[in-house]
Structure 1
């Protein structure tokens, strides 16, 4: 029996209704035609069509252009502690289903909209959860959600020593939220002495600095793409561009590469890559170099061929539609240079982690780069982010990582 709703109601445009019915969870400010009641910032609002059809219940943001983010499409949900615990347990059970047991100690547990927690990211690095809260609705519920998640994991034999908030991102300001980072106080637990911990991924050991590392501390989404690179690396001379802390380079070395050159423009990242190479006993195979890839690749053209496998894992060249054209130019430059450097029969791994550089645009760029480099590409694999970063159909924003393995023929 349908329960009586007591939340404010937002009437939305037919365009918003169609998007919600396709599965997208957002309602923009301009799509609300009427608001019955006075919602609290971060509070819940029922969303209805002009014909009073119930479309879902979402969290209200008074500052953001994304005015409502749906968390349920069930008119009978009560949104109590049991509701949120159930959703957390679903997210964890999903990871247990799609990952190997050894991968569960370092994985993404909550991937925002794809898990029904809009604006929330939770990454696990051993005993530490690194969290990022990008919506006011999740901000006002974190006091409930974080202890609940720790308890869900504890009941499954997974002990968590601390939750570290990486809320030092400008995107929070669009929600009217301050930037900061620090430990979240868990009831009954002492704050850990350090935000640095060791993880093991694909058999490679890394020291992860949750407080100061990029994003939440470490990029987990390429886990299985690194395995694919390792399988192709045996006996090869590998150039890993934009290496960050050396993850692709180390996987290539463990895969039996003859030699790996790991390059990054950041001296601190290069030093971390060196530390990780020593940590895994691979310092004699992996050479870490501080250089600008855009300068390095052209300079290598003037030298005898040194590499037969090149990996391009750049940071996101664009974070908005306005700069996509410039980003595609950047992607084309490094891919063109890499294709020119590789011998016939050489291998190329190339990717983009920008949602706005769509797969269609990325593929067109690769065709253009291959044409200009006068090479033909034989596709080995087309891959995406790992399954702990699930792609929710109907929510294009959850699909962002494009990863291709080619042989130059």
Structure 2
């Protein structure tokens, strides 16, 4: 069985972009699966295929072979790239499989201190989830494996949403070592797979910055379970975590106790309302972290999202004391790097403040970015210093 695509789709695959939309499919099997993709009889790639999805073709290899065997080879390579880190940080957290970034579209595998949390986002893989679980268990010998298949994107694939234990045990709350900090993870109830591993290196950077500057007052907005705040609190006199979820803040307080940090406080509030109210006070913090959710889930949201990112950054900039720092992020791939920096420029201008760009970062190294697939590089992170 073969998927035949038109010239438009062929150009994308020849440029090594893995996505081909349904409108470019000329003929294909009736159901989802892993198939060779051809144009006018010429082999182009191996891909996941789903006739019900708008994103019908997701290529994972540009070499011929038995489709599932090649998929497993890609999985083996992805795990091998993380083998050294697993040995070095056995109680840490890491991304073992980063979908397209590891030539394994539709699959995310995160590891938390030996526990695997797996997300499947493709119908072709859902049919092979038992074989996939066996392959992961045989290769990694985890303490447990949890399928956290509750993402909204599964609906576009015609898949149900569920959370199911497939192997061993995975606690409701577990702890991972992240540098000098114990970080909380909620595999079932938490966002994503239980924590935001893409910000790991940026959280460590925040702690290093706090160690150098010793802020009297720090603020973590959209703070969730306090990941950034825990690193900053080791070197700050006082840190406040602001989030709309009382449950997330409860976990943040528990994490503060586990890390023996008595200087971390929490505030349940809408971040937009809090920033608007707090900005009236003027500069009151030496370090502010701003890690909002994605405001642009599709390209049509971009104009509204740009305005929302600008608003929260403008108000956060007004809170930073001269010589202090703003650490700000965007996790929307629709808002590119240039647009992110343009937004910061516009926000600083409207705030009537001058900021120096100290550092530009992205997602952690275990979330690989392919230059052919800019969508894999979704996280933007900037460290700004308030000049005046």
**Cα distance change on mapping 1:58 and 1:114 into 2, 3 Å:** same
Q: Which has the larger radius of gyration?
A: 1
Which residue of structure 2 lines up, in the alignment, with residue 290 of structure 1?
A: 268
Whether 1:167 aligns to 2:149 is yes
Match of residue 78, structure 1, among 57, 62, 66: 66
Cα deviation, 1:56-107, whole Å, max 9, x if unaligned, reads 12122121011122222112x12355x4443222111212357882277411
Counterpart contact for 1:85–1:149, Cα < 8 Å:
no
- CA distance in 2: counterparts of 1:93 and 1:62, whole angstroms: 33
Displacement of 1:207: 3.1
Cα deviation, 1:89-134, whole Å, max 9, x if unaligned, reads 2111212357882277411111111112111111111132111111
Match of residue 272, structure 1, among 251, 270, 292: 251
TM-score (norm 2): 0.94
Whether 1:45 aligns to 2:31 is no
Counterpart contact for 1:202–1:223, Cα < 8 Å:
no
Which residue of structure 1 lines up, in the alignment, with residue 369 of structure 2?
A: 391
Match of residue 400, structure 1, among 364, 378, 386: 378
Q: Note the 1:338-377 alignment, pairs <5 A.
A: 338-377=316-355
Counterpart contact for 2:60–2:71, Cα < 8 Å:
no
Cα deviation, 1:233-282, whole Å, max 9, x if unaligned, reads 1310211111100000001112x112111111111111111111111000
Q: Note the 1:21-170 alignment, pairs <5 A.
A: 21-35=14-28, 39=29, 41-50=31-40, 52-75=41-64, 77-81=65-69, 83-96=70-83, 101-102=88-89, 105-154=92-141, 160-170=142-152
- CA distance in 2: counterparts of 1:198 and 1:397, whole angstroms: 30
SS in 2 for 1:146: helix
- CA distance in 2: counterparts of 1:11 and 1:85, whole angstroms: 24
- CA distance in 2: counterparts of 1:291 and 1:100, whole angstroms: 40
Runs of 4+ with >6 A deviation: none
SS in 2 for 1:243: coil
Match of residue 208, structure 1, among 161, 185, 188: 185
SS in 2 for 1:217: coil
Counterpart contact for 1:347–1:406, Cα < 8 Å:
yes
**Cα distance change on mapping 1:381 and 1:304 into 2, 3 Å:** closer
SS in 2 for 1:110: strand
- CA distance in 2: counterparts of 1:329 and 1:178, whole angstroms: 34
Which residue of structure 1 lines up, in the alignment, with residue 301 of structure 2?
A: 323
SS in 2 for 1:273: helix
Displacement of 1:9: 2.6
**Cα distance change on mapping 1:170 and 1:351 into 2, 3 Å:** same
TM-score (norm 1): 0.89
Displacement of 1:13: 2.2
Which residue of structure 2 lines up, in the alignment, with residue 12 of structure 1?
A: 5
- CA distance in 1: counterparts of 2:61 and 2:356, whole angstroms: 44
Q: Give the gaps of 5 or more residues in structure 1.
A: 1-7, 155-159
**Cα distance change on mapping 1:359 and 1:304 into 2, 3 Å:** closer
**Cα distance change on mapping 1:395 and 1:351 into 2, 3 Å:** same
Counterpart contact for 2:36–2:67, Cα < 8 Å:
no
Q: CA RMSD in A?
A: 1.9
Cα deviation, 1:303-354, whole Å, max 9, x if unaligned, reads 3642111110011112111111111111111111111222221111000011
